[in-house]
Amino acid sequence: MNETTQPTIKKISNKERMKIPRHAMPEQEPLVRAKNFFEVPLGYTADMAMEEADRCLQCKDPKCIQGCPVNVKIPQFIFHVAMGNFELAANTLKETNALPAVCGRVCPQEEQCETVCVIGGKVEPVAIGRLERFVADWERASRKVSLPAIPRSSGKKIAVIGAGPAGLTCAGDLAKLGHSVTVFEALHKAGGVLVYGIPEFRLPKQIVEAEVQYLEKLGVKIQCNFVVGMTRTVDELMTEDGYDAVFIGTGAGLPYFMGLPGENLNGVYSANEFLTRMNLMKGFEFPNNADTPVPMAKHVAVIGGGNTAMDAARTALRLQWTEKVYIVYRRSLVEMPARKEEIHHGEQEGIEFLLLTNPTRFLGENGWLTGMECQKMELGEPDASGRRKPVPINGSEFVLTVESAIVATGNGSNPLINKTTPGLTANKYGNIIADESGKTSREGMWAGGDIVIGAATVIKAMGAGKKAAAAIHEYVTAKKK
């Protein structure tokens, strides 16, 4: 295909093209899915995908590409979909995006690629994310996963710390350039938040496993059960174990608590604990196929308004003994940082949103949580973040009866690497300081993802991994042995 000329897919005018309605995503029925852990959206069929692809105008100046943090060649891959060339579409996607099956599902497309789609101003934007998911799923299902040609071994060894999206992407790119790459992961499974945080019904773990296996086929070694800082320090990897460069992608794994009275009562969890028990440890299969217990509460309150809060709430709802789940958020729906789609799904499934509400203390009996005292809030002047600041309404306290409360008010960065790597500079929040390419204050050490920018998104972490891989390649290639 000659990409400079505008390809015609179906011989129709742009005006007609824009009349095609955005194809809805088939989904499991809300009340059915609210009690199972299967994926909620079922995915497009090939026909649906081709129809949706027909909506793309194949713009000469495709704004969508700039909206994507890794600059996926969106019109090109969509063109291949419209033509029914799914294999070509998959190859195009993979040129820039190592995890399309993941991104197609969890990217906040409505804030990235789709928000700048040219037709978006007049009609609904092209469903870029859903098409991306379709192509990746098709490739996995048809087993047409093709391996790129790998150049001869460069003789350089690179250590990647953390098997989250940042680390995995960096490892894949470096392996494709012929370097010998080992990923060190503290947990017993690779994937980072993709396996311990994001639930099965939003991102089936089998997809993450397939992506990790693909990397292994590229020659990446994945060493789980290896805590850098404890099992080995970064410096030991470089000076004793002969790694030429290191990429640090350790994520934002430090839960914040609220400092409220009663937060150590049994029944109060960090979202990290609750989600890890449920996802990584498969607690929803307790006691039959998994040994890790999960809370058995009838009434659950989740505090916070981000993706983590929505995931925790929807996960809690799916446990068979849960009757009621509340989201307790101190601002209003408009300010909620969670993806609109997740909020909508949560509402459909029956989660009750207590907005402009803030917990003031946890109440308990004999060490167990029995309720949560809350206060109503109203919106005042805009604060530093530009959002209107919630202020408490005096005398509006009320008690919510809950046996379980999940605190999802944010994560900080885990200090383990900083503490054990002298000379590696971090800011006051513990985020490692790195430049555009991920280069840190220490020679030969790069960093990227949540550990650098704070809790963000999968695609941003991947973008950082990618940039660092390019810089590391340049560095080790120039470096004399």
Partner 1 sequence: MLTVYPILEKNDLASKVYRYVIAAPDIVKKAKAGQFVILRLHEGGERIPITLADWDMQRGTVTLYVQAIGKTTTMMSMLKVGDFLTDVVGPFGLPSHVEKGKTFVAVGGGFGIAAIHPIVRANKLVGNKTISIIGARSKEMIIMEDEMRAISDEVRIATDDGSYGTKGFVTTILKSMLEHKEPVDVVLAIGPVIMMKAVSDLTKQYGVKTLVSLNPIMMDGTGMCGACRVIVGDTMQFACVDGPEFDGHAVDFNLLMARQKMYSPQEKISMEIFEKTCRTQEHRETAAW
Alpha-carbon dihedral sign for residues 449, 450, 454, 457: positive
Which residues, in sequence order, are CB contacts of 272 under 8 Å at separation 6+? 196, 197, 253, 255, 411
d(CA 437, CA 100): 22
Which residues between 47 and 86 bind ligand SF4 (CB under 6 A)?
A: 56-59, 62-64, 68, 70, 72, 74-75
421 binds ligand FAD (CB under 6 A): no
Q: CA–CA separation, 191 vs 199, rounded Å? A: 12
Residue closer to ligand FAD, measured from CB, 375 or 414: 414
Q: Which is nearer to ligand SF4, 112 or 404 (CB)?
A: 112
**Contact status: 426 vs ligand FAD (CB under 6 A):** no
- What does 355-418 look like in DSSP terms, one character per residue? -SEEEEEEEEETTEEEEEEEEEEEEEEE-TTSSEEEEEPTT--EEEE-SEEEE-S-EE---HHH
Work out what residue 307 binds among partner 1, ligand SF4, ligand FAD, none; the CB cut-off runs from 5 to 8 Å by kind.
Answer: ligand FAD
Tokens (6 digits) for 390 = 């919630």
Interface with ligand FAD by CB under 6 A: which range of 35-43, 46-54, 90-98, 162-170?
162-170
Residues in the chain: 481
Distance CA 35, CA 17 (A): 39
| Residue 197 is a binding residue for ligand FAD (CB under 6 A) | yes
Structure letter (DSSP) for residue 478:
H
Q: Which positions from 241 through 280 interact with partner 1, judged by CB under 8 A? A: 253-255, 257, 264, 266, 269-270, 272-273, 276-277
Query: 243 or 475, CB closer to partner 1?
Result: 243
Give the footprint of ligand SF4 on residues 85-104 (CB under 6 A).
97, 103-104
The option from partner 1, ligand FAD, ligand SF4, none interacting with 54 (CB < 5 to 8 A, set by class) reads none
Write the Ramachandran bin of 71: left for phi over 0, alpha for psi from -120 to 50, otherwise beta: left
**Binds 58: which of ligand FAD, partner 1, ligand SF4, none (CB < 5-8 Å by kind):** ligand SF4
Per-residue binding string, partner 1, 168-197, x by CB under 8 A, is: ------------------xxx---------
CB half-sphere exposure, 126, CA atoms < 13 A? 32
What is the residue whose two structure tokens read 């946890």? 362
User: Does residue 166 interact with ligand FAD by CB under 6 A?
Assistant: yes
Footprint (CB under 8 A) of partner 1, residues 389-428: 414-416
Choose which of 76, 109, 322, 418 interacts with ligand SF4 (CB under 6 A): 109
DSSP readout, 159-223? EEE--SHHHHHHHHHHHHTT-EEEEE-SSSSS-THHHHTS-TTTS-HHHHHHHHHHHHHTT-EEE
471 near 438, Cβ under 8 Å? yes
Identified binder of ligand FAD from the candidate list 70, 128, 175, 186, rule CB under 6 A: 186
Q: What does 59 interact with, of partner 1, ligand FAD, ligand SF4, none (CB < 5 to 8 A by kind)?
A: ligand SF4
The only residue of 198, 222, 303, 445 in contact with ligand FAD, by rule CB under 6 A: 198
CB of 121 to ligand SF4, least distance (A): 10
In angstroms, what CA-CA distances link 10 with 5, 54, 374? 15, 7, 57
Establish if 218 lies at the interface with partner 1 (CB under 8 A): no
Q: Where are the beta strands (DSSP E) in 194-320?
A: 221-223, 245-248, 254-255, 268-270, 299-303
Which residues are within 8 A (CB) of 470 and not within 5 positions of it... i.e. 6 or more apart?
Answer: 173, 437
Regarding 253 and contact with ligand FAD (CB under 6 A), the answer is yes
The verdict on 135 binding ligand SF4 (CB under 6 A) reads no
Report strand pairing: 352-354 vs 157-161: unpaired
Nearest 10 degrees: Cα torsion 197, 202, 204, 208: -60
Site size toward partner 1, by CB under 8 A = 42
Is 353 strand, coil or helix? strand
Instruction: Please report how close the Cβ of residue 165 comes to ligand SF4 at its closest, in angstroms.
Output: 11
Q: Which residues bind ligand SF4 (CB under 6 A)?
A: 56-59, 62-64, 68, 70, 72, 74-75, 97, 103-104, 107, 109, 112-113, 117-119, 126, 128-129, 132, 459
Instruction: Kindly list the residues in this chain that would bind partner 1 in the complex (CB under 8 A).
Output: 186-188, 221, 223-227, 230-232, 253-255, 257, 264, 266, 269-270, 272-273, 276-277, 281-282, 285-294, 296, 366-367, 414-416
Residues lying near ligand FAD in the complex (CB under 6 A) are found at 106-108, 161-167, 184-187, 192-193, 197-198, 227-229, 249-251, 253, 275, 307-308, 311, 339, 414, 416-417, 449-451, 455-459, 461
